[in-house]
Structure 1
Amino acid sequence: MLEIERKFLVTSDAYKKEAFSQKRIIQGYLNSNPERTVRVRIKENKAYLTIKGSSNTSGMSRFEWEKEIPVDEAKNLLLLCEKGVIDKTRFEVKIGNHIYEIDEFYGENEGLEMAEIELQSETELFEKPSWLGEEVTNDKRYYNSYLSKNPFKNW
């Protein structure tokens, strides 16, 4: 499946009042190579194994395959992951016809807040809320796999 998404920094926590959902996420990487990232994620009481291909030149599109797995298996796989587990809360906010996923990071990435929006095409129009800041879609420093090895606190 092709994933098309754009990423933005967040300028305030106003999105928290608009959120219809918030979930804690713990994730690690079995492979953080950008050509074939393999991620293990526990999101509340569900777990997933995800494989992502490399991004296209715009940074907006890439292949993504995801499968739900038992939480106990995900916990075991997290023990095998590369150094640098990502710990965050994901807030979901509906704006117009889209849902923004805003991640508030903890631990070594404390202070980073980033919003993502999934689109049907790279040219699809979408509403931008007042708390949406600079676009960082093509900046690889904001990929979670990069943040796991090069935490925000060290920038």
Structure 2
Amino acid sequence: MSAPMEIEKKFLVSECPALDDFKAEVVRQGYITSGEDSVEVRVRQKGEGYYITVKSKGTLARSEYEAAIEPTQFETLWPATAGRRLEKTRYTGTLPDGAAVELDLFEGHLAGLQLVEVEFASVEEANAFKAPGWFGADVTEDKRYKNSALAVADQPPA
């Protein structure tokens, strides 16, 4: 059985859209592993749900395993993420072409940073994607914008 793949592109936001049609959830996540490790292991609270996720190295396409965990398991693991955390509000919505988007507005040490992600079924689909006007620069390959890197950054990348 092959690993489930996450194929996504990430962009800065040049102009935040109206969020009336988006669903908002507060997200707090922390990384158990450090950026130098061969895989990312994180715990996340997203709204009322709790998850543990393991991701391979990579940018555009990488394997991803995620499982729901109990709140007590999250709270047990949370101290292991000290110094490698971030908080954001995630707005999920749909583009006019039907593509699902996740718009993250960061808080705390990353306040002011706005990123938008779009997931795809294939690398070819991702490469053919035409970003709408409110999307800014494509930062998919810029490792400074990976959540694991942002979690340990002092401030948003310049």
State the TM-score, normalizing by the size of structure 1: 0.90
Task: Give structure 1 stretches of 5+ with no counterpart.
Answer: none
The one-letter amino acid of 2:70's match is: P
**Residues 79-127 of structure 1, C-alpha deviations (whole Å, 9 max, x = no match):** 1114131100000120122111010000000110000011011121445
Alignment of 1:45-84 (within 5 A): 45-55=48-58, 59-84=59-84
Contact 1:41–1:47 under 8 Å retained in 2: yes
**TM-fit CA distance, 1:15:** 4.4
Give the paired residue count. 151
Q: How far did residue 153 of structure 1 move? A: 4.4
4+ aligned runs moved over 2 Å, structure 1: 32-35, 125-130, 151-155
Select 2:30's aligned residue among 28, 31, 36: 28
State the alpha-carbon separation in 2 of the partners of residues 146 and 14 from structure 1. Answer: 26
CA contact (8 A) 1:24 1:44 kept: yes
> For residue 91 of structure 1, what is the aligned residue in structure 2?
91
Task: Provide the rounded CA distance (Å) in 2 between the counterparts of 1:63 and 1:151.
Answer: 28
Corresponding residue to 1:6 among 5, 9, 28: 9
Percent identical residues: 33
Contact 2:21–2:93 under 8 Å retained in 1:
yes
Q: For structure 2, which runs of at least 5 residues remain unmatched after alignment?
A: none
The separation in 1 between residues aligned to 2:130 and 2:93, in whole angstroms, is: 12
Following the alignment from structure 2 to structure 1, what is the Cα–Cα distance between the partners of residues 109 and 24?
21
Q: Which residue of 2 aligns with 1:136?
A: 139
Residue 65 of structure 1 aligns to a residue in which SS? strand
Amino acid at match of 1:49: I
The TM-score normalised by the length of structure 2 is: 0.88
Cα RMSD, aligned residues only: 1.6
Q: Decide whether the 8 Å contact of 1:93 with 1:101 is kept in 2.
A: yes
Once the 2 structures are TM-superposed, how far is the Cα of residue 31 of structure 1 from its aligned partner?
Answer: 0.4
Quickly say closer, same or farther: Cα 1:104–1:70, change in 2 above 3 A. same
